[in-house]
Chain A
Amino acid sequence: MAFSSDAVVHHPASLCFRPSLPRNRWNALLTVVVAVFSSIAVLPLVLVLGYVLFKGGSLISAELLTELPPPPGLDGGGIGNAILGTTIVTLVASLIAIPVGVGGGVYLAEYSRSGWFAQFVRFGTNVLSGVPSIICGVFIYGLIVSTRFFFGQSYSAMAGGVALSVLMLPTVIKTTDEALKLVPRELRLGAMGLGASQFVTITRITLPTAFTPIATGVVLGIARAAGETAPLIFTALFSPFWPEGLFNPIATMSVLIFNFAIMPYEAQNALAWAASFVLVLMILLANLFARWVARFTRV
């Protein structure tokens, strides 16, 4: 007989899962390999965060947050001027980059989606976001610091802020462009149909609708700028004193970490860890805040 009862009772061997087959062995092996790779990928985050939070966090005190750094070799002191300085420089950068970036994004999304100039600006934005941050520093050094552009001052908080704004600009433009593209066309047509001018449509309808994704991108951009060091080392420089206006050198946390990490004094190294703690905490909170805001996206 062609069909024996054996074949019905016992499954044909070819349909059973056989772990010993080479293909199944490979499958299991590769799965383990990527699992290990993923663990390696998150390991640095855990280690860096762990060290910064424990080593830096244990040093935090009221004096640390409000006092000036001590002269090299001496103990005590704090990073108050650097916290204030980072805030000021980042604020200057935001005040420049947000209006320019949102304006540029509005142009790309609302006025010319596919014209040659829009293509050029998009390409330029991508190129600019790939320019190394140290080159931004060199650029601002050549443009502002060495020419003493601001009232004959060379190194200044203003120069540092401008350097950071160059770094933020592509992020803000891209975010605005992408966010505005998500706004439904019907909303614009509706506004135009009611007789609104393009200016009113953009400022009253499209921009408010896209507010959340733009805000998310901008917050992430600010957080990234706050941690940047390379554009500040030779534009904002550093100062052991409290900020003296926008047109003098200013201390920032990121430059403080760099300067104090390579000093051979333990007190300075400790301050570098403390500044890392404050900086990382600020940046992580900004990131989590941006993620939280992004959940309210309406478009």
Chain B
Amino acid sequence: MVPMAAGARPELFTQRRRPLWELLIDRGFQKLVVLLASVVGLVLVGILFTVLGGSTEAIGRFGLGFLTTSNWDPIAEQYGAFTAIYGTVVSSLLALLIAVPLGVGTAIFLTENIIPLPIRQVLGVMVELLAAIPSVVLGLWAIFVMEPFLRPFLELLHTSLGWMPFFSTVPMGPGMAPAILILVVTVLPIITAISRDSLQQVPTELRQAAYGIGTTRWEAILQVILPAAVSGITGGVMLALGRAMGETMAVTMIIGNSNNFTLSLLAPGNTIASMLANQFGEADGFQVSALMYAALVLMLLTLVVNVLAQWIVRRLSLKYA
């Protein structure tokens, strides 16, 4: 190759300078995406301040007593959210009590080679599609199909176990028990999906080693595979708890929306979310502030649960190189 004399075609050797407009677009785009990313932060702060700002009046008037009294009387302007808070916590915990064994069991069934892969895949897609059904449709189904079907069983529960305070009322239709069952349906796909992911991430070597020393399938699952996946599963269960506490439509349609406190699971009850859905549209004046206060409580509850879930997944996850 013939070396070219310097200066003959200098444009070949000089670095290409970026035109100003190109530089501006590049910088501008960078600023734009930073701005768009910060929208998330702005929305979070906005939610917090809107709800906090809306509830200051009620906080000032009721203080923490709001959380422990169950008197909800818009005419006398007396508000206490204990029934709704109790309903939120009890309904989500009982729903999880049913949904966790079902979900984790299904996840095991879908990851271990008990049945052929094609069937497992179809079942997996079906569970995922269950998550896609809008909760208002689940609520409609619960009102017209599930609750009438369930009532004889709940009545049986009342006649045989009515001496317990949890079954002390005659089931009249909407109530806590059907709401809990529909909550199970809404959180089941979450628990199944996350447990399935965690189980699939357990290294093959662990399974092989377990089977190699002569365990049965279930000894391997219970003593090797599940312990290895437990952090992911726990995180998923916490996420499901957050979802169950915030679940609105299906619960609103079937829980009966009563603010009278009762221990009975067969009687109508209330959750914070269902109370908001029912009353917010028609509320004005001071009631809005009281509802905002309830919304604040719900937000803090779900926030704590969700942050805890993220922390569990990050801290407790076993690291496999």
Query: A-side interface residues toward B, CB under 8 Å?
Result: 23-24, 26-27, 30-31, 33-35, 37-38, 40-42, 44-49, 51-52, 99-101, 103-104, 106-108, 110-111, 117-118, 120-121, 123-128, 130-139, 141-143, 146, 166, 169-170, 173, 195, 197-199, 202, 220, 223-224, 226-230, 233-234, 237, 254, 257-258, 261-262, 269, 272-273, 276, 279-280, 283-284, 287, 291
Contact = CB atoms under 8 A, between A and B. Distances in A.
Given A27-B218, A133-B246, A224-B132, A138 B29 contact: no
Contacts of A48: 130, 133, 137-138, 141
Interface string B217-256: 1110100000000000000000100110111110011000
B109 A37 contact: yes
A130 B273 contact: no
B216 interface: yes
A130 B303 contact: yes
Given A41-B188, A139-B51, A233-B281, A125 B134 contact: no
B249 A287 contact: no
Contacts of A291: 125
A229 B144 CA distance: 19
A137 B280 contact: yes
A197 B25 CA distance: 9
A220 B129 CA distance: 11
B110 interface: yes
A38 B124 CA distance: 10
Interface SS of chain B: helix
Contacts of A229: 134-136, 248-249
Task: In the A-B complex, list the 3 residue pairs whose CB atoms are closest, starting with the nearest.
Answer: A132-B246, A227-B134, A103-B36
B68 interface: no
B137 A52 contact: yes
Given A42-B126, A44-B185, A23 B292 contact: no
B139 A234 contact: no
B84 interface: no
Interface in B4-31: 16, 18, 22-23, 25-26, 29-30
Contact of B248 (A34, A38, A220, A230): A230
A81 B99 CA distance: 38
Nearest to B50: A142
A154 B123 CA distance: 45
B219 A130 contact: no
By CB atoms of chain B within 10 A, which of A34, A99, A228 has the most? A34
B105 interface: yes
Nearest to B305: A130
Contact of A126 (B43, B110, B310): B310
A37 B30 CA distance: 50
Contacts of A23: 216, 219
Nearest to B130: A45
Given A103-B33, A229-B135, A261-B143, A237 B106 contact: no
Interface in B178-230: 185, 188, 192, 216-219, 221
Contacts of B292: 138, 142
Interface stretch (B69-77, B162-170, B294-302): B294-302
B114 A280 contact: no
